[in-house]
Chain A
């Protein structure tokens, strides 16, 4: 146990905050225990406000800029290799597995960094319509995305649950349960990476407490459930989502172009060609 006890807080709108409810829940790791925020419904509502601003600011940046920011995040992570390794080992991984996981997470981050200014070239295209028209389909980001992250003690998986939506230009509310210590530690490096406040928000809690509010919230345009949920939960979410046509993705892929496709909206523009 350390002499100075570390407190992990939620990371929302570029700031570290406790739950407005004042409540926490305990996570036990090998060397220590941590009381992390038990995110409430009001916290979610505040996070959406922050994520909306974050979306506007993240959108404004050029794809090149986004690449640089995500690459910078990898610089931050690599600098804190030892800290992550310790957390993973305290979570039960062997030293070798912990190191491998962090190396994989850096490779994933590099892959996504270089994807930020490429994916549009893979998904957009000119459409060969009949007639004197220029017709192009291009993709835009959905908006604010809520992700339920897998509880596996893996930095790689954690990043792979945040990066697909983020890379397409969406802002993300990343919700974590048993792996919250790792996630809230990652928040510190996110903060150092030049990502605009609110673009990526990291929170901890119990999903069952907020499942209604999240699936009902009209301004959350999509939910990506990377963690397995029960059939009852799935049904509830989809029913609530239907009220505003929220997009719901159950265990979507985490790597490859297919990982990004859920988070984009296609826009097709026509224009005549004539003198």
Chain B
């Protein structure tokens, strides 16, 4: 019996031009940071060093804020149409250099080129297009009395969708008339740095977009700066709580998009094969490094064995490997740190009594890798069922009645997203009404659109990004 193996089909990285060293982007141009310190950014699939970036300090943040204040003076005098034109131009440039950005994202962060090319980059362009179109018609967005932009906005983004998170933050902020200081994640700064180049190319007025790279200390300095009017943060719940506490003594705007432990509920009257696809997509997309990942499979008991059998078979066809191979489905884990976290929780899951299934695949020698993993025979009390793993690990819990499915799904401090799989329309609506989650996907999962508001309940954060409702994150009511 022959086997048909797919030969490597590597996307060339010659399209990217990574500099050896990067400064910070302030006053509309790249300049050296005040800090003498720097960081290395590596490719998590090979551990090779890609570049050296600045470790921004308090002075850099202050310079960025002053630059932003100057930028605000210019930006606030422009009409909405003029702001729209800059954003449309940026959208176009991103489209034109999509392949370059996608390769860079996969190199720096570890995600498969198939995803950065087919999901991340098209969404990034779409976000800029969508918000460009709000800039000149904000008066039509909400029937409220005179909302105005905050002014100088500090934005901190994570490493799982670096450029996409940048677009979710920067596009609406600029469209609504704010100016931005962006602090990208420590391990994934490169696409943000390339984006800064585009801002220079389109002639964005200096100070409207500022970029300071660094680590947690850089982010803290940004949060602590007294002249920031608003903070928008996407990252872990732990850091989100720190930011809420840290800014308690100031009257500033705050939106937080934090962690999740989403339930993917599969009823016995679901379209089973498509539900399997949705569950697989829900947890293995982007190696499970997704805040809204469907990390708990909440499965109706009477279809448990049939479903799990199909799920394991489907998981086995997932290809783990070189992110630049076009046939790779699962890329590298973003960092050693994250890999250790995942391993610890998975080992704990086995210790607590869960049954583990992992796909058979060869993992590369260098880099950070984890096999797609499924736990069955897990209980709601296990750590793997309660804590956010942020990796390619799915935990199965069973239910018998719809009410139980709701109870189990809501039994968490998180409330970002949820999935509902059933072919019965009224059950979808009944269930959606009762789930405490900001985004609910029925018979689908991981669907995003700039027009669709995204954000969480409970400790998954507050505020929404995207859509008409997302504008409220960047406009404040006149008091």
- In residues 62-107 of chain A, which contact B (Cβ within 8 Å)? 63-64, 67-68, 71, 107
Smallest CB gap from A111: residue in B: B136
Nearest Cβ on chain B to A192's Cβ, whole angstroms: 16
The listed residue (A110, A118, A272) touching B429 by CB distance below 8 A is A272
Contact A274 B130 (CB under 8 A): no
Q: Bound state CA distance, A116 and B137, in angstroms?
A: 12
Nearest Cβ on chain A to B272's Cβ, whole angstroms: 20
Nearest Cβ on chain A to B123's Cβ, whole angstroms: 11
Contact A271 B425 (CB under 8 A): yes
Is A222 an interface position by the 8 A CB rule? no
Is B129 an interface position by the 8 A CB rule? yes
**Which residues on the B side are within 8 Å of A122 (C-beta)?**
140-141, 468
Nearest Cβ on chain B to A182's Cβ, whole angstroms: 23
**Which residues on the B side are within 8 Å of A117 (C-beta)?**
129-130, 133, 451
State how many residues of chain B have any CB contact under 8 Å with chain A: 25
Once A71-B88, A107-B81, A111-B81 are accepted as A-B contacts, the answer to whether A118 and B433 lie under 8 Å apart by CB is no
**Which residues on the A side are within 8 Å of B425 (C-beta)?**
271-272
Is A253 an interface position by the 8 A CB rule? no
Once A71-B129, A275-B402 are accepted as A-B contacts, the answer to whether A114 and B429 lie under 8 Å apart by CB is no
- In residues 219-250 of chain A, which contact B (Cβ within 8 Å)? none
Is A211 an interface position by the 8 A CB rule? no
Is B19 an interface position by the 8 A CB rule? no
**Which residues on the A side are within 8 Å of B451 (C-beta)?**
63, 117-118, 121
Smallest CB gap from A75: residue in B: B92
Contact A118 B133 (CB under 8 A): yes
**Which residues on the B side are within 8 Å of A33 (C-beta)?**
none
Once A64-B129, A110-B88, A118-B134 are accepted as A-B contacts, the answer to whether A275 and B429 lie under 8 Å apart by CB is no
Q: Bound state CA distance, A125 and B131, in angstroms?
A: 21
Contact A111 B137 (CB under 8 A): yes
**Which residues on the B side are within 8 Å of A61 (C-beta)?**
none
Q: Bound state CA distance, A117 and B91, in angstroms?
A: 15
The listed residue (A63, A68, A110, A273) touching B84 by CB distance below 8 A is A110
**Which residues on the A side are within 8 Å of B133 (C-beta)?**
67, 113-118
Contact B140 A114 (CB under 8 A): no
- In residues 123-165 of chain B, which contact A (Cβ within 8 Å)? 126, 129-130, 132-137, 140-141
The listed residue (B129, B137, B433) touching A273 by CB distance below 8 A is B433
Chain B CB within 10 Å, residue with most, of A114, A117, A271, A275 = A114
Is A257 an interface position by the 8 A CB rule? yes
Is A134 an interface position by the 8 A CB rule? yes
Smallest CB gap from A72: residue in B: B92
Q: Bound state CA distance, A122 and B133, in angstroms?
A: 13
Is B467 an interface position by the 8 A CB rule? yes
**Which residues on the B side are within 8 Å of A256 (C-beta)?**
140
Smallest CB gap from A68: residue in B: B129
Contact B137 A67 (CB under 8 A): no
**Which residues on the B side are within 8 Å of A116 (C-beta)?**
133
Q: Bound state CA distance, A71 and B42, in angstroms?
A: 38
Nearest Cβ on chain B to A115's Cβ, whole angstroms: 7
**Which residues on the B side are within 8 Å of A272 (C-beta)?**
425-426, 429
The listed residue (A64, A110, A271, A275) touching B126 by CB distance below 8 A is A64
List residues of A whose CB falls within 8 A of some B CB.
63-64, 67-68, 71, 107, 110-111, 113-118, 121-122, 134, 256-257, 271-275
Given contacts A122-B468, A272-B425, A273-B429, 10 further A-B contacts (CB under 8 A): A63-B451, A110-B81, A111-B136, A118-B133, A118-B137, A121-B451, A256-B140, A274-B427, A274-B430, A275-B402
List residues of B whose CB falls within 8 A of some A CB.
81, 84-85, 88, 126, 129-130, 132-137, 140-141, 402, 425-427, 429-430, 433, 451, 467-468
Which 3 A-B residue pairings sit nearest by Cβ, starting from the closest?
A114-B133, A273-B429, A274-B426
